[in-house]
Amino acid sequence: MDTTTITAEEIMTTRLAVTSPETHLATATEELIKRRVSGLPVVDAAGNFVGRFSERSAIVALDLGTTDDDSEVARQLGKICAADLMNRRSLVLDSRQDVFHSIKLLLDRKVSGASVVDADGTLRGVFSEKSAMRVFIGLCWEQLPSSEITAWAVRAEERQITEETRLNEILNRFHNTHYRRLMVLRGDKLVGEVTRRDALQAALKIRRELSTTAEPESAEPSTGLKTNVESWMYRENTGVRRSDDVLAIAQRFQRSPGRQIPVVHEDRLEGQISRSDLLRAVQRCFPEETTSSHRMQPLYLSSVNKRDAGAVM
């Protein structure tokens, strides 16, 4: 597969929402929620790219995953469980689907990942944009062991929770991993998912409500004097160049936990590329589907197992 003709300059986004090192972390966090983005590039006064502030940065900075069990915040977080937060109609992928059709579904639905389930709703793993990057790199090196989605789905125990899992434990999972979604299981059956944004929004709502009744000195998160973005941003060493080809960018994505990579020139931010930007650009290089069994209609969780889904609606 020849991808050397597709470069970063062709696929990068140049109109970006950014934040600064001096921005208060609460302001930057609210901006993430408002814009529904997983991260913001951090740019200094000279226009230099200096890092990224993400949803995970916010969870770590606001100490949401490690709150003292005796605090009022911890008590309120403990009152909310996964069943209160989970999305019961998220996109799911049939385990019999072709991997290339699955990538198309992720792009069409504009989601970064989806659960892979059998016909009875049993979870087989998660297929994400990062999984799709592995497929693309395998194609480039002509090392594609299978086009079945189950060969590429990732199943990790720490990604699984139950309907009873409390918000403080959910935040702790997001605090300690780079996952963007956790799968909610009843036995071995999928009944919903909780995203990092869902958990962050719920925790911020609790903090805002408590801050209206708290003493002024206790209204700030327990981060000491480190209340600006600079103290909590993820410091990336380098970005990619305009001339870098998509294979080089895909390999970079495989080493990075972020969904976006900056395009920089002499330290100045020129744009950024998301995983979905790259996948859309190389989608035309993927093999065409040849059998109707691979072109199944997209499923949603409520249609996988109506009996189980109805029980939690």
Q: Quick check: 289 pLDDT over 70?
A: no
Tell me the per-residue pLDDT of 120-142, one tens digit each, with 9 for 90 and over. Answer: 999 999 999 999 998 888 887 76
- Residue in the structure block whose two tokens are 């998660």: 126
Confidence category of residue 311, pLDDT binned at 50, 70, 90:
very low
Average pLDDT over residues 94-103: 92
Name the residue ranges covered by the structural domains of the chain: 8-312
Q: Residue 64's pLDDT is what?
A: 61
Confidence category of residue 23, pLDDT binned at 50, 70, 90:
very high
Total residue count of the chain as it appears in this document: 313
User: CA-CA distance, 122 to 124, in Å (whole number)?
Assistant: 6
pTM of the full predicted structure? 0.82
Cβ neighbours around 305 below 10 Å, total:
19
pLDDT top residue among 224 and 58: 58
CA 151 to chain centre: 21
Q: Quick check: 246 pLDDT over 80?
A: yes
Return mean pLDDT, the chain: 84
Average pLDDT over residues 300-304: 50
- Render 215-274 in DSSP notation, one character per residue: -GGGSS-S-TT--BGGGTSB--S--B-TT-BHHHHHHHHHH-SSSEEEEEETTEEEEEEE
**CATH code given to domain 8-312:** 3.10.580.10
In this structure, are residues 162 and 174 in contact, taking their beta carbons and an 8 Å threshold?
A: no
- Alpha-carbon dihedral 254, 109, 171, 126, rounded to 10 degrees: -60
pLDDT top residue among 148 and 52: 52
Confidence category of residue 84, pLDDT binned at 50, 70, 90:
very high
Q: Quick check: 271 pLDDT over 50?
A: yes
Average pLDDT over residues 231-252: 88
Helix residue ranges per DSSP H, 40-125? 55-61, 72-77, 82-85, 99-109
